[in-house]
Amino acid sequence: MEELNINTSYGNIHVYKRGTGEKKIFLLHGSGLDGAMIFWWGVMKNFPENCTVYAPDLLGYGKSDKPDICGEDFYTAHIEALRETIEFLSIKRFYLAGISMGAAVALGYALKYPEQIQGLFPIAAWGLASSLPFHFLSYYLLQKTSLMILLFKIIGKSKWLVRQTIQSYLIGNKNKVTDKMVDEIRRVCREEDVLKAMRDFQRSSCDKKGAIPYYVQVLHKLKMPVIFIHGDKDPLVPVSDIYNIVNLCPKGKIYVLKGCKHWPIMEQPEKISTTIQENMKKQ
């Protein structure tokens, strides 16, 4: 494993690199945990050495810088910081995968720079819902109060509450919820930098009118293969939402993982790695 520090106009980006192959893929993590390796190592280690895998800590997470990017520039900052990172690495064409928030960044990147993307893998993707559940109430709680952060802090005080939260929303197979995972979530709930990154994501992802971003109306512009990977038990982004939009992508497909919730890369990393690699071979 190689670690790179790349300076962008938005701040330093820390990148984990594995492999030396001609085919290249970037893996973008989500919110709720602190950085790329916690999310992606289970998937990353299953790629062969003849594939070059990059997993950056996005702005606000891990070993990357933590600028104040909350608001309307949030997704632009992540997209452009990624573009500058890729330019620094002199990469012209690559595959791109992301989970949840990272999937929204990946979709936005592919829409803005389609000529660079050989294939796109949105996993448990944010960016495809027009609104939040109970939207105005959710908007008010996220934008006008710190209740969600307070709730995370309260949950983090109890191993039992953390485990129940993971099992309810994130991991379908209870046997996959390890003590290490519980301890990591508890750590996250105590660290102000990680909580701020989570709050910035939440507050940047809705306004009074609806959810942000909302890509459904422009999915037809994605001419590259778009492989949606989704858990059939995801309570945060229902798989029905993906079935409703997959055919809007000219080369869209969906792979459904039975029993998985919102973090399928934690439940079935080998299967996700295999699915991505098989689709990369077809290109």
Site of tokens 């990148």 = 15
**Considering the chain, what is the average pLDDT of its residues?**
93
Cα–Cα distance measured from residue 141 to residue 138, given in angstroms and rounded to the nearest whole number? 5
Tens of pLDDT, residues 74-123: 999 999 999 999 999 999 999 999 999 999 999 999 999 999 999 999 99
Please tell me the predicted confidence (pLDDT) of residue 271.
96
Sequence-distant (6+) residues with CB within 8 A of 151 are: none
Are 260 and 233 in contact, with CB atoms under 8 Å apart? yes
Indicate the length of the chain as a whole number. Answer: 283
Please tell me the predicted confidence (pLDDT) of residue 80.
98
The percentage of residues in the chain with a pLDDT greater than 70, rounded to a whole number, is: 100
Tens of pLDDT, residues 11-54: 999 999 999 999 999 999 999 777 899 899 999 999 998 899 99
Please tell me the predicted confidence (pLDDT) of residue 71.
87
Please tell me the predicted confidence (pLDDT) of residue 192.
87
Termini Cα distance of the chain = 26
Burial of 134 per CB tally in 10 Å (0-12, 13-18, 19+): exposed
What pairs with residue 252 in β-bridges? 226
Q: What is the mean pLDDT of residues 234-252?
A: 95
pTM of the model: 0.94
CA angle in degrees (0–180, nearest 5) for 192-195-200: 120
Hey, which bits of the chain come out as E strands? Answer: 2-8, 11-18, 23-28, 51-57, 94-99, 117-123, 226-231, 252-257
Domain boundaries, the chain: 2-132+210-281
At how many degrees (to 10) do helices 101-112 and 74-88 cross?
Answer: 70
Task: Look at residue 143 and tell me whether its pLDDT is greater than 90.
Answer: no
In CATH, the architecture of 2-132+210-281 is: 3-Layer(aba) Sandwich (3.40)
Please tell me the predicted confidence (pLDDT) of residue 273.
96
Confidence of residue 140 (pLDDT cuts 50, 70, 90): confident
Please tell me the predicted confidence (pLDDT) of residue 33.
79
